[in-house]
Chains A and B, each alone.
With several copies, the nearest count.
Chain A
């Protein structure tokens, strides 16, 4: 995977930062999160022009062939701004899964539209329990004279309600496989589920004899799924780190300006010391996210450990920081109109997607040989 130079990466990050500062303000986020689709098509088009959906897609398929380092950098910006978008579903998970599976015909057919942002792709990865393992898949695929059909249910599927391209994991008699399904197929229902994090779009899918096309795999299918999950975790870690930092920043700003007892509340040790502890959380999250991206980019054998470390460190940092932020603000942050709870909601969602912090602590220890 070709990476950008540090300067190019920095320029891309700056461009995303500027775009989001202008087009993804708090008011924009609040407006977008109330829409059914849960993302702003105009902003998505602008992000697509900048190449974000195709960031990880090979140049041969219309992408820019960049990698985890670039992804992590822009996700820090996306997280800071609470960007509502199908980028994670489409440009990260679906794109990585397709590339890792290596079905060249399917890739030639699907990836260019994903790269351009014209199509939104998503993957049904797991069942209701949200166990991000092969055992967590609750869809089975059966061969019929007319091809494969899928039965079962999938849950927590990102942006399925907006998907043009739908991939699903399913068990066959021979093992796990990835199938392409027409989102409008008979027998498929896509129920949008109301999320506590209003900036997130999830759906539950039920399959009843849904016709599907099996994708060829050039290697073990779970390896490809794990590659997609690992890339998603790097993206999420970047989002968490960026959002943690932004939340800390506006909290510190408030502590510097809010006067009680004749002085800024940030002068009181109760607030100051919480802020200091949160800075350690935020910096650690940033370090962990960037390290995970770097290890994955260089294909290090340490990458899985680095990714799990980032997964739980960033999730915990984000939840801890946003929870403390509300307390530090006091009453003002108990109002809907204040942004702190939007960050807490995102933090709680991010701590569940692709495995809880406890799941990743366990995985980390296993990666360390224990």
Chain B
């Protein structure tokens, strides 16, 4: 492929989209295959792996054209967690088998990281993977797994060595989910939904080729995968591409208070203003971080977003409740405003607990951003089998 100017590239992709894409194709399962075949899915990647070996600015041109046409499938070299992780760390046979299907959306995936005993302390996992030469046998329990019921593979961390400190005995796998030893049980959450599952693994077999990175080096592979995940979530968190605007549509809390007839209440007004401010300040922080990043300077602000979002969600739910008063006693379809307020009250914990509790986030911010010392880690340098796991 010869080098193109930006204009040439823009023309090419625009012409290709004009020729191939139409909004009716949304949901068409063959679309992604065409995008992949044309080299638009992962333009930064090598030609061997469906790419065009383009630098970021040219890849952005392609993504922009897709965005303008509202066509999906481009930019997967930034956003496809599974394919990126696999390409970076997978064995050749596994890559040959799955990179294409992953880009074409033909493979259902899920994450098998957390365990009942390993939440904040993810490196404390106790699911075991025993090396049997050409395969590993896995036993254990995972939790907080979404989309597990339809998954073909799960990205799994499991312990392969119990005689080294906890971070060093972990391995990372693409675990085939469609086999008898995998039992997926929906987990009823406090919101009365079942978005997540528990996954029980009993003598589950994983081919040796499905190991990513080397045995015992799974913690490093996990960090790679988590970095992809964060960067994707960061992209998503950055708000509309048109930049941050001051309020145009009425703020939901103002609308709610107006509807409930309490917008004149001076005490509520202070609370509403503050809740809106938290949200707006986070948007401004994110916009500033994005501007910093665009100028090539790293920004410490992104790391604050999750903690800020936790406060925003809890506070908004609190103010909604204050606005509704006695109406918040109810739930169900006859009480949609109360249903919202109560759901948001509970679901705020999804953010303040999930993906690292607020407390863990404060550790991370204090240590990585502000440079404060880490706490003593009692279990860091001892063989995992000697680590304390029972309280009382």
Contact = CB atoms under 8 A, between A and B. Distances in A.
Contact of B277 (A202, A279, A364): A364
Interface residues of B, number: 94
Contacts of B118: 260
Given A279-B369, A327-B357, A368-B254, A197 B246 contact: no
A358 B372 CA distance: 34
B124 interface: yes
Contact of A195 (B273, B331, B359): B331
A272 B367 contact: yes
B388 interface: yes
Given A275-B366, A295-B246, A336-B190, A260 B119 contact: yes
B187 A271 contact: no
Interface in A334-370: 334-338, 340-341, 344, 348-349, 352-353, 356, 358, 361-362, 364-365, 368-370
B372 A256 contact: yes
B269 A302 contact: no
Nearest to A126: B326
A53 B22 CA distance: 59
Contacts, number: 260
B371 interface: yes
B372 A275 contact: yes
Contacts of A358: 267, 270, 322
Contacts of A259: 117, 124, 388-391
Contacts of B365: 275-276, 279-280
Interface residues of A, number: 81
A270 B362 contact: yes
Given A202-B329, A287-B288, A369-B250, A330 B357 contact: yes
B380 to A, nearest CB: 8
A280 B304 contact: yes
Interface string B306-349: 01100000100000011001111111101100100010011001
B329 A279 contact: no
A284 B284 contact: yes
Contacts of B390: 257, 259
B281 interface: yes
B139 interface: no
B114 interface: yes
A264 B372 contact: yes
A282 to B, nearest CB: 10
Q: Give the residue among B124, B338, B372, B378 with the most A Cβ atoms within 10 A.
A: B372
Given A275-B372, A361-B269, A349 B329 contact: yes
B354 interface: yes
A252 B349 contact: no
Q: Is the interface of A mostly helix, strand, loop or mixed?
A: helix
A68 to B, nearest CB: 15
B228 interface: no
B353 A327 contact: yes
B378 A270 contact: no
A174 B361 CA distance: 59
A129 interface: yes
A195 B188 contact: no
B388 A263 contact: yes
B12 interface: no
B373 interface: yes
Given A259-B388, A266-B366, A331-B353, A362 B270 contact: yes
A326 B359 contact: no
Contacts of B190: 326, 333-336, 338, 340-341
A159 interface: no
B92 interface: no
B352 interface: yes
A22 B273 CA distance: 41
Contacts of A286: 288
B375 interface: yes
B370 interface: yes
B20 interface: no
Given A252-B371, A262-B388, A365-B254, A352 B328 contact: yes
Q: Which of A265, A280, A337 has the most CB of B within 10 A?
A: A280
Interface in A214-273: 252, 255-273
Interface string B204-232: 00000000000000000000000000000
Contacts of A129: 325-326
Given A196-B330, A200-B329, A273-B363, 17 more contacts: A196-B329, A197-B329, A261-B377, A268-B375, A269-B363, A273-B366, A275-B366, A276-B361, A280-B308, A280-B365, A284-B281, A287-B288, A361-B273, A361-B274, A361-B277, A368-B276, A370-B251
Interface of B: 114, 116-121, 124, 143-144, 187-190, 192, 244-247, 250-251, 254, 257-258, 263, 266-267, 269-270, 272-274, 276-277, 280-282, 284-285, 287-288, 300-301, 304, 307-308, 314, 321-322, 325-332, 334-335, 338, 342, 345-346, 349-350, 352-354, 357-359, 361-363, 365-367, 369-379, 387-392
25 contacts: A194-B330, A194-B331, A202-B329, A257-B390, A259-B391, A268-B359, A270-B362, A273-B366, A275-B372, A276-B369, A277-B362, A279-B369, A284-B284, A284-B285, A284-B308, A286-B288, A327-B352, A327-B358, A336-B192, A362-B269, A362-B273, A365-B276, A369-B247, A370-B257, A370-B263
Interface of A: 128-130, 155-156, 193-197, 200, 202, 252, 255-273, 275-277, 279-280, 283-284, 286-288, 290-291, 295, 300-302, 305-306, 309, 312-313, 323, 326-327, 330-338, 340-341, 344, 348-349, 352-353, 356, 358, 361-362, 364-365, 368-370
The 4 closest A-B pairs by CB, nearest first: A130-B326, A262-B379, A302-B246, A257-B391
